[in-house]
Amino acid sequence: MKTNDYIERLYGEAVKAMRNAVAPLSGFRVGAAVLTSSGEVYTGCNIENPSLMLSACAERVAILKAVSEGTRDIRAVMVVSDGGDYCYPCGSCRQLIYEFATGAEIFIAGGGGIKKYSIEELLPYAFKR
C-alpha cells in the first residue's frame, strides 16, 4: 500500500466514523481511524455523556476497539473533526497512543490539510512505566 493510499483510506474511514458521533453537549463531532500493520482499520467517534466523566474521545474508542480485538500493532492514527480546524488528541488520548501505538504516525486533519506527528512530538514527557 502506497503512503498516500493509506492516508486517504484512514481519512475516509475517520470521516465516516465522525458521522456516528454523539455530541449533544458540545456539538463538536470527532472521528478517528487506526491502521494496523496487517492493514486492518479500526474506527471510533466521540461519545458525550451529561456526566462528562463517562464521555469517550474518538481516538480512545478506535484504539480500545483494536486492543479489545487482540491487535496491538497500530502503525497510524488519523483524527478528524467537523470544526474546520485541527483537533489534536487530549492528554488522556496522547497517553493512550503512547501506550498502545508508540511508533505510530499520527495524522491530524484540518482546514489546512493533514499534518503528521510522532507521539513524542505531541507528548514529550509521557508517563513511562
* % of the chain surpassing 90 pLDDT: 91
pLDDT mean over 70-97: 96
Any residues with CB less than 8 A from the CB of 73 and at least 6 apart, and which? 36, 37, 38
Is 127 inside a domain boundary? no
In this model, does residue 2 exceed pLDDT 70? no
Residue 99 within a domain:
yes
Cell numbers at residue 28, please?
463538536
| In-domain check, residue 107 | yes
Total domains, the chain: 1
Please tell me the predicted confidence (pLDDT) of residue 3: 63
**Residue 9 covered by a domain:** yes
Query: Average pLDDT in the 104-129 region?
Result: 95
**Structural domain includes residue 56:** yes
Q: Supply the residues annotated as catalytic.
A: 59
Mean pLDDT of 11-34: 97
60 within a domain of the structure (yes/no): yes
CATH number for the domain that contains residue 60: 3.40.140.10
The whole domain housing 107 covers 3-122
Q: Which of 27, 29, 63 lies closest to 44, judged by CA? A: 63
List pLDDT tens digits, range 36-78: 999 999 999 999 999 888 999 999 999 999 999 999 999 999 9
